[in-house]
Each structure stands twice: as C-alpha cells, then as structure tokens.
Amino acid sequence: MRWLISAVMLWCLTGCGYKATSHYASSIVGESISTEVYVSLHDPENSVIIKDAVDRAVISRFKRQLRDKHNASTHLAITITDIKFKPIKYDINGYVTAHQTEVYMQILRTTGNFSKTYLSRGSYDFGIRANAIISEKVRFEDIKNGAQKAIDSFLAQLSSEPLAREK
C-alpha cells in the first residue's frame, strides 16, 4: 500500500511539471557563488556567525560550490541591516517565556554585468525559562537560525524571477 501511495505521489509531482525552487535559483546563479558579509561595527561577533550561516545555507540550498569573488559566476554581497529580539509569549506572572529573533538583510546579487538588490528577513522563535537571561551562546545560535531563514527567503525571491518573466 505504501508503495502505491509513493508511486502516485511521485507520478503527480513529476507529471505536473513540478520543479524545486532550488532548480530555478540554481539556473540564475550559475555554477559557483561567492559571498561577502559586511561586518557591523556595532556587533562584529554576529557578522562572523552570520557569514558562516550564510555560507552553509548557500551550499545546502543552492547545491553550489563557494569560490573567491573573481572565480565565481555570482557574487552575493550581504549587509545585515538589523537584528531584533522581541518577546512573543509571557507566563501568568508577566515574565517573558519566548522570544523571536529577526534578522534583516540586504543582498546585492551580481551575476556577470547584472546586479539586483533584494531585501530579506528571517525570524526564529525560541523559548526561555521565566526570569532567565539570554546567554551569548543562545543569542548567537538564534541569530544563525534567523540568518538561515533570511537566506531561504532570498532563495524564494530568486526562484520566483523566472516565473515572473514568463508571464
């Protein structure tokens, strides 16, 4: 029975012309990508973490190799414009029990002679014990997760471009 359901699902996905978003995005960026994250003078530690998160996201989402700027077909210049932590849930005594991290990015994509700027936002929700302080380790992890979601948002914007051109 599972085999039949799997076969029908596979047939539906391939038969209807479904293509993953990474397919469209990969056709836009080419064979290799370089990344550059502009360091915030106010928060340089986060920029290093975000650079690592962006590189991991690019490799996993685009399925492309990272190269230096001069040997890459596409260059992504990423500026972290803002990072916000806001409370989203309180307990009955009024203590914050959940926060949301929001990472805002401006991404300049340069492919050949063409450049385009994208605005992207990624958010990540996390719970904490009542009356607890957010440690640096937790803060960095949450920023990293928010940055990866911002890259996912950028990927969605990028993959929708070929579809917009077809209409």
Scanning 16-135, the segments in alpha helix (DSSP H) are 21-29, 44-62
Per the domain annotation, does 21 fall within a domain?
Answer: no
Per the domain annotation, does 149 fall within a domain?
Answer: yes
Per the domain annotation, does 109 fall within a domain?
Answer: yes
Per the domain annotation, does 76 fall within a domain?
Answer: yes
Domain that holds residue 95: 30-166
pTM: 0.75
| CATH number of the domain bearing residue 153 | 3.30.160.150
Instruction: Give residue 42's pLDDT.
Output: 65
d(CA 116, CA 53): 22
Per the domain annotation, does 20 fall within a domain?
Answer: no
Mean pLDDT along residues 101-114 = 89
Q: Over the stretch 62-103, which tens digit does the pLDDT of each residue have?
A: 777 788 888 888 889 988 888 888 988 888 888 888 889 898
Task: Answer with the residue of higher pLDDT: 90 or 54.
Answer: 90
Task: Answer with the residue of higher pLDDT: 52 or 103.
Answer: 103
Per the domain annotation, does 145 fall within a domain?
Answer: yes
d(CA 67, CA 60): 15
User: Across 38-42, 77-81, 117-121, 139-143, which has the greatest mean pLDDT?
Assistant: 117-121
- Looking at the structure of the chain, the number of domains it has is 1
Per the domain annotation, does 94 fall within a domain?
Answer: yes
Q: Rounded to 5, what percent of the chain is helix, strand, coil?
A: 45, 35, 20
Instruction: Give residue 142's pLDDT.
Output: 83
Could you tell me where the beta strands, DSSP code E, fall in 15-112? 32-38, 65-66, 74-90, 96-111
Per the domain annotation, does 162 fall within a domain?
Answer: yes
